[in-house]
């Protein structure tokens, strides 16, 4: 039983060290940044294209401006994640997940709107 407890403690220490690590492979950093930027720009770009090309949606121009500001905020956060390496792994992963999840909800909301 004591051996099992020691093994669990060792495993927990390893997990904690990995989660608090600020070392992040360069290729992973570039790949995650590219994916998040494409997701952000793709969603806002698709909404912009839809609002600007379909006249039935002109009443959503205020939402279009807000979505552009939201996209700029996301891009600033993505740039912070890319350029600074002092962010622990758990925080970096959580921020990336939140950006991706926010883009999904934004898409569901925006493309669920009805014409004016």
Q: Are 106 and 37 in contact (CB under 8 A)?
A: no
Give the predicted TM-score (pTM) of the model. Answer: 0.76
Mean pLDDT of 16-44: 84
Residue 7: pLDDT band (50, 70, 90) is: confident
Calpha distance 38→26 (Å, rounded): 18
Contact 47, 64 (CB under 8 A): yes
Residue 5: alpha-carbon gap to chain centroid: 37
For the chain, give the percent of residues with pLDDT over 70. 97
Q: Which residue has the tokens 């992963």?
A: 93
Evaluate if residue 88 carries a pLDDT over 80.
Answer: yes
- What is the dihedral sign for C-alpha 55, 57, 60, 63? negative
Count of CB atoms situated within 10 Å of the CB of 24? 16
Helix (H) or strand (E) holding 13: helix 2-20
pLDDT, position 10: 77
């Amino acid at each position: 039983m004591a051996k099992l407890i020691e093994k669990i403690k060792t495993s927990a220490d390893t997990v904690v060290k990995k989660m608090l690590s600020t070392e992040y492979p360069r290729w992973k950093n570039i790949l995650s940044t590219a994916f998040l930027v494409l997701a952000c720009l793709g969603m806002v770009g698709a909404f912009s294209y839809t609002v600007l090309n379909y006249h039935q949606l002109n009443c959503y121009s205020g939402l279009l401006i807000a979505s552009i500001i939201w996209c700029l905020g996301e891009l600033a956060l993505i740039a912070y994640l890319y350029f600074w390496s002092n962010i622990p792994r758990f925080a970096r992963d959580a921020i990336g997940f939140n950006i991706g999840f926010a883009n999904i909800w934004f898409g569901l909301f925006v493309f669920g709107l009805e014409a004016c």
